[in-house]
A and B are shown apart, each in its own frame.
Chain A
Amino acid sequence: MKLLHVIVVLLVTIVAQGQQNEKKILLENATVHIGNGQVIYNGLVGIQNNSIILVQNALAYTYNPNDWDSIIQLNGHHIYPGFVAPNTTLGLTEIDAVRATRDFDEVGTFNPHVRSQIAYNCESAILATVRTNGVLITQAAPRGGIISGTSSVMSTSCWNWEDGTLLADDGIHLNWPSSLKGGEWWSENKVITRNDQYEERKRQITNFFAQAETYQQEDGKAADLKFEAMKACLNGNKRVYFHADELQQLLDIVDFVGAFRLQNAVIIGGYDSYLITEKLKEHHISVMLPRVHSLPEKDDDAVDLVYRLPYLLQQGGVLFCLQNEGDMDAMNVRNLPFLAGTAMAYGLTEEEAVRSITLNACRILGIDHYYGSIEVGKRASLFISTGNALDMRTNNARMILSDGMFLPVTNFQTDLYLKYRKKYGF
């Protein structure tokens, strides 16, 4: 059994799981997917404490083995920066159908003050199953209303939300009103029509932002939690994530971003974004594309349109990354690498595909100083797979490091598997 083999190897090589490593460790003979679009075959990666201290091509670099406390021979296995899953309810929900476990949708229409960070459950059983496929960073995103709340960027391995936080309160999530209506539930006879309240809904948002701006300029007012929470958005310290898909919405968002001079605005979804790449590029608006594994919106759309969106945005020069919002979105985070794989099959190069779930995502989230690529000085959050991690067949965890900590490559599902194998005498 391949899997068992991996486990044995790990037990031998790894010092103590879950402990930060003060020793200098060198990973050698690895295929290093830097995350910025480059790859080093026969690469060397050195780590100490929580950081990467060396990244080299073995053909052009000689080293003294005595300099290293431990050298791990990777036999050509692949090293990736930990994958990044933005915009998920991971850690905020456990079982979708059980209301008691759902902590991502608060009552209210404008909830910028509501913060996901403190609801993030480090012991969520789902987190373990996500890590073992390489996803080490997530953005815990609230849902519902017009402004759902404020998200935070979290590690998928942590003791509590405090030490799990990579970037607190990174931005608010704004569900832009739909220019069409009738799209959620149907009988076969129901139809989508133009949303005649669209203008009104837009005005509502504009008013809210305008009020927040006024509030910011006035002193001595009684504190308004909502507007307090908006301050950082308006002065550029917090992002605004616009959830929207249709062309009309996207164009209006571009105008809105300009009107309020919002920094680092992000569109989440952006199904129609491929039609306005020039404009998005010009206004420095980045896009977190719809789940690659989702159906086209319209019968007339190309069957593979969603598969090709990453390529189309890449061609258009827009900063984009992948995300996974949709049906069962917490559990499905573990398939994030395969979304990138499909994007690769439909136009991206392998390294561009890797970048779409690593460095690009970190840039959009604002954590690229520390995360997203395998470069000296960045945090050692690495996923090491025996094969191409973007292909279902070959995504096999050999080692997982989060901020220099070695994590188990198994989870409770593996345990159950082994338990029942044992029952049957295998």
Chain B
Amino acid sequence: MKRLVLAFLLFNVYTLLGQLNTPVNGVAETPANSFVLTNVTILVSPEKTINHGNIIVRDGVIVAVGQQLVLPNDLPIIDGNDRVVLPSFIELFSSLGIPAPANNHDNASPQYLSKKNGPYYWNEAIHPEIDPTALYSIDETAINELHKMGFGAALTHQNDGIFQGTGSLVTLGKNKWKQQLIQPKIAAFYSFEKGISKQEYPSSLMGSIALIRQTLYDADWYKNAQKKSSNYSLDAVNAHQNLPSIFFTNATYEVFRVHALEHEFNRKFTVVGTGHEYELGTPWDSLQQTLIIPINFPAPYDLKDPYIARQVPLADLKHWELAPSNLAYLTQQKVAFSITTNGLKTADEFWKNLHKSFEYGFTPEEALRALTINPSKLIGVDSLLGTIEKGKKACFTLYDVNPFLYQAKVLEVYTNGEREVKISIPDVDIRGKYSLNIDGVKYHLSIAGSQQKPEASVSLIRTINDSITNKSKADTLKTTAFIQLIDNDLTLQFLLKDKKTTQHFALKGVYNARVWIVEGTGTDSIGNWIKWSALRTEKFVGKSDEPVWKTRADQPVPPLYPNMAFGFTAIPKQETLAFENATVWTNESEGIIENATVIVQNGKIKAIQKNTGNYPANTRIIDAKGKHLTSGIIDEHSHIAISKGVNESGQAITAEVRIGDVITADDINVYRQLSGGVTAAQLLHGSANPVGGQSALIKLKWGHMPQDYLIPNAPKFVKFALGENVKQANWGDYNTTRFPQTRMGVEQVYIDGFARALAYHEAQLNYQKLSDREKSKIGKPAIDLELEALYEIVSGNRKITCHSYVQSEINMLMHVADSFGFHVNTFTHILEGYKVADKMKAHGVGASTFADWWAYKFEVKDAIPFNAALMQEMNIVVAINSDDAEMGRRLNQEAAKIVKYGGVSEEEAWKMVTLNPAKLLHLDDRMGSVQVGKDADLVLWTANPLSIEAKVVYTIVDGEVLYDSQLNDEKLAAIELEKARIATLMLDSSVKGDEAKPFKRRKRGQYHCNTLGQEQATGTNEH
């Protein structure tokens, strides 16, 4: 006991020492933040609950928690009446009390440079120096809503830009601003969205990623450089290196994109997720990602109008069904996560969704952890917040019942020991049945409703005489009554009325809760003062103790991969296959072999044999008699499966951006192209600028995660573009200021870029040659991602695929390349290639063209469908590409056109969509023909693949069957069934009271070469 007292004293001394004296206007006040809360169930932490416990609080700090405590007699006692206390939840992702930023630049033409004055980074979306602490104001409405959800602390920040700045941790009290701030600059925030910045760059997700990388490289250089200048932004980037870093994402696969940044820069980010994590399979062991997860589950759709209902995609229906399983999934995957209310509008939604999660296997213990311990640990305040334990801040919430189990109400909120009473509930529960005696007449009084808002009804049983039968019978006259209990004073008033009777009573009495009797006086209908009393005869039987939710007996139908129409029920695996008796288009010297059997194992072509049999174990045999087996189609020019922008159009040179950073795995066009026999593609940056971004060479791995699409160790490629698109010829009168606006300027952009790249490289080399002493004196040259990429190009290590149309510019680029001593690898589109085929041959460049497109803009006036044939005749490697998601799924037909226009043989025409693109992409050592040892990227066709009647039976990628025409039909039927099944569930949930939302359908448009920003075109296309 003595030691305990001593501890108290010591603690008080420390807290006093820790306070700063501030002037007071008036006399000093004793803060009301010391008390004892007794008789409560305390959910101390996920592991520990104390029943009938006490909490002693002094100066806003918990000094003792336990069942049997010696209660100090110098503190006020608050009786908790056996209610439930939970530690305050902590919101990590919020802009509470912080005004939205505004951008006042009014631009008459595109803004290419930063307009911000001061020593800041060159891009307006990078502002890590922003500290919103001083902007914080107490927003009572928002705080009240958070209180209802059980939150008592929030990390608030300005959600704008890419490097957003820091956040401040505040407690959710409503008085004394200064007391609420726990710590400013406690975490740094990031996103892929440029926010209010009107600077053109970055205009795409890949641009944002490149900008993040460049900023981090710059900050690293700045740290070690001999500072000749100051930069507040870079100072902040470096200062935040060891802060908890929170990265906002808003699309399913972006967690992988953040992870790639972590890997490159050896930083840790906590990712604000999307609620779609359950669609990602089991990557979490390798990701080791901490997450902040929203629980804003989608509302059911209003499916009353069947014409509208059929518009709702399976993906949305599936997500509606599975979203509540996300938290259980993450727990089962052992991911450490916190829960955010981001995206929720009301507290009701918060609790309802949490309860729904429990039905799917999430547990109250884990919920408490995700709302308290995990967030507090993440931002390093677990010694202050997160549990109800000695030494922590007195931040907790008092509920009438355990909110995880029941529909609970927040009664009181304690913030740093300051008590706010939300709902005042009388100490006594007067509900029940009473025998009411008014002036000698017996009535029945029934009190139900809730404890703080009881509802009463009164009935009178009497005997009446039936005038027809002349018999007596019992009859009940009933009415509702007004009832109110304040402290022990009870008011009861009612009017009983029918044809014969009018009785009005207004009664007042004192309630004796020890014996459940109330006695008093009042007035009757004619104003007489009368005596009355009531005796409780029956205790109130409320709702049962069953929680409001029940763990589902059945598991919901699991997600598809990807979670949409035509997804797989599991991530596909390699198979051992034998195609028997096929007509095999080898693309090799063997030509077309009849009746051959091709065996596939471990993702490779294992054997091509004339006889059947002699297969490895577990071989799936496919009868290919009468069918044609070819290598998969390779689309040299494609823009499918790209997320948030195919063009980074914010600068004339954007060699630093990478399509590989933004692959998405839920583009239905991937599946559609598989159905047309496409197995690989070069995903190109658009053609908005002379030097576009770096390409991604992918396989169409439908059912896999985005990173699995990338072909390992693929050669490096970059997109160049010439002509009308880069000079913005068809972009209207707004876009007339970016250099270049003419073909003349385009040449200069290249010469300048390559010259800068060479100088950059030389500077790096010169630095390497210095002695250590000189090195430390001068400092390492800065890394410039754009110049790195340009140097790769000019030194021949990154190959160019150049969008091109007219002969003058084609000729020009070859001259520029020659003068810098490297080769252009591929001209794509190259519709006037036939005019300079001799020069192209001499330069050694390949061609990837359309079969027959022309007349869509001025520069394709002379485009002729014989182009491919003539270039082929000139011994140029020629491919036919799509640049179009629709044409991409019937490139076999486009190849067939080359037989028509120029009389190329069928075998050679076929190579234009298989072997030749493989050659152009330098992948012909592993794909492009049916040869033992090559990748098992195969297509089985019903007929000669160039025939108009050819249809795909199977498409195999790396030995995985990713399109199966029969399975396709089954999937189609299953889609309808699955949609109907979920629609029924939706209807049921609407009946149960979930508010239905009107129909919405997301539609992915197509990207084309000239699609700008993050918009996708479904309209006209200029390629």
Spell out A's residues near B (CB within 8 Å): 1-3, 94-98, 125-126, 129, 179-180, 183-194, 246-248, 251, 293-296, 298-300, 302-304, 327-328, 330-331, 334-335, 338, 341-342, 344-346, 388, 390-396, 413-414, 416-417, 420-421, 424, 426
Interface of B is mostly: loop
Q: Are B1014 and A187 neighbours in the complex by a CB distance under 8 Å?
A: yes
Which of B315, B838, B864 makes the CB contact (< 8 A) with A416?
Answer: B864
Q: Are A185 and B855 neighbours in the complex by a CB distance under 8 Å?
A: no
In the assembled complex, how far is the CB of residue A241 from the closest CB belonging to chain B, in whole angstroms? 21
State which size class the interface on B falls in. Answer: 35 or more
> Which residues on A sit within 8 Å (CB–CB) of B856?
95-97, 328, 331
Q: Are B564 and A96 neighbours in the complex by a CB distance under 8 Å?
A: no
Q: Are B893 and A392 neighbours in the complex by a CB distance under 8 Å?
A: yes
Q: Are B949 and A295 neighbours in the complex by a CB distance under 8 Å?
A: no
> Which residues on B sit within 8 Å (CB–CB) of A391?
896, 947-949
Q: Are B861 and A342 neighbours in the complex by a CB distance under 8 Å?
A: no
Q: Are B853 and A420 neighbours in the complex by a CB distance under 8 Å?
A: no
Q: Are B900 and A395 neighbours in the complex by a CB distance under 8 Å?
A: yes
Bound: A334/B897 CA distance, A: 12
Q: Are A294 and B886 neighbours in the complex by a CB distance under 8 Å?
A: yes
> Which residues on B sit within 8 Å (CB–CB) of A395?
900
Q: Are A420 and B1000 neighbours in the complex by a CB distance under 8 Å?
A: no
Whether B862 is near chain A, meaning CB under 8 Å from some CB there, is yes
In the assembled complex, how far is the CB of residue B823 from the closest CB belonging to chain A, in whole angstroms? 21
Q: Known: A299-B564, A417-B870. Is A185-B1017 also a contact (CB below 8 A)?
A: yes
Q: Which of B305-313, B436-444, B538-546 forms contacts with chain A?
A: B305-313
Which of A194, A300, A331, A417 makes the CB contact (< 8 A) with B999?
Answer: A194
Q: Are A390 and B870 neighbours in the complex by a CB distance under 8 Å?
A: no
Q: Are B968 and A303 neighbours in the complex by a CB distance under 8 Å?
A: yes
Q: Known: A344-B949, A420-B834. Is A413-B865 also a contact (CB below 8 A)?
A: yes
Q: Are B1003 and A183 neighbours in the complex by a CB distance under 8 Å?
A: yes
Q: Are A185 and B900 neighbours in the complex by a CB distance under 8 Å?
A: no
Bound: A248/B873 CA distance, A: 53
Q: Are B1001 and A393 neighbours in the complex by a CB distance under 8 Å?
A: no
Whether B899 is near chain A, meaning CB under 8 Å from some CB there, is yes
In the assembled complex, how far is the CB of residue A124 from the closest CB belonging to chain B, in whole angstroms? 9
CB within 8 Å of A: which of B830-859? 834-835, 837-838, 852-858
Whether B885 is near chain A, meaning CB under 8 Å from some CB there, is yes
> 7 interchain pairs (CB within 8 A)?
A94-B855, A95-B858, A303-B672, A330-B855, A391-B948, A392-B897, A394-B900
> Which residues on B sit within 8 Å (CB–CB) of A193?
998-1001
Bound: A410/B858 CA distance, A: 22
Whether B874 is near chain A, meaning CB under 8 Å from some CB there, is yes
Q: Are A420 and B886 neighbours in the complex by a CB distance under 8 Å?
A: no
Whether B972 is near chain A, meaning CB under 8 Å from some CB there, is yes
> Which residues on B sit within 8 Å (CB–CB) of A247?
307, 310
Q: Known: A417-B834, A417-B864, A424-B837. Is A393-B857 also a contact (CB below 8 A)?
A: no
> Which residues on A sit within 8 Å (CB–CB) of B972?
302
> Which residues on A sit within 8 Å (CB–CB) of B1019?
184-185
CB within 8 Å of A: which of B982-1008? 998-1006
Whether B903 is near chain A, meaning CB under 8 Å from some CB there, is yes
9 smallest CB-CB distances across A and B, nearest first, come from: A97-B857, A392-B896, A341-B948, A417-B866, A300-B565, A413-B864, A393-B899, A391-B948, A331-B855
> Which residues on B sit within 8 Å (CB–CB) of A190?
1002
- B671-691 contact mask (Cβ, 8 Å, vs A): 1 or 0: 110010000000000000000
Whether B728 is near chain A, meaning CB under 8 Å from some CB there, is no
Q: Are B1016 and A299 neighbours in the complex by a CB distance under 8 Å?
A: no
- Nearest A residue to B251 by beta-carbon distance? A188
Q: Known: A299-B668, A327-B1020, A424-B837. Is A338-B893 also a contact (CB below 8 A)?
A: yes
Whether B524 is near chain A, meaning CB under 8 Å from some CB there, is no
Bound: A186/B861 CA distance, A: 30
Q: Are A248 and B307 neighbours in the complex by a CB distance under 8 Å?
A: yes
In the assembled complex, how far is the CB of residue A343 from the closest CB belonging to chain B, in whole angstroms? 10
- B958-978 contact mask (Cβ, 8 Å, vs A): 1 or 0: 000000000010001001000
- Nearest B residue to A98 by beta-carbon distance? B858
Q: Are A344 and B948 neighbours in the complex by a CB distance under 8 Å?
A: yes
- Nearest A residue to B1019 by beta-carbon distance? A184
- Nearest B residue to A305 by beta-carbon distance? B972
> Which residues on A sit within 8 Å (CB–CB) of B903?
1-3
Bound: A346/B890 CA distance, A: 14
Bound: A328/B1017 CA distance, A: 14
CB within 8 Å of A: which of B871-896? 873-874, 885-887, 889-890, 893, 896
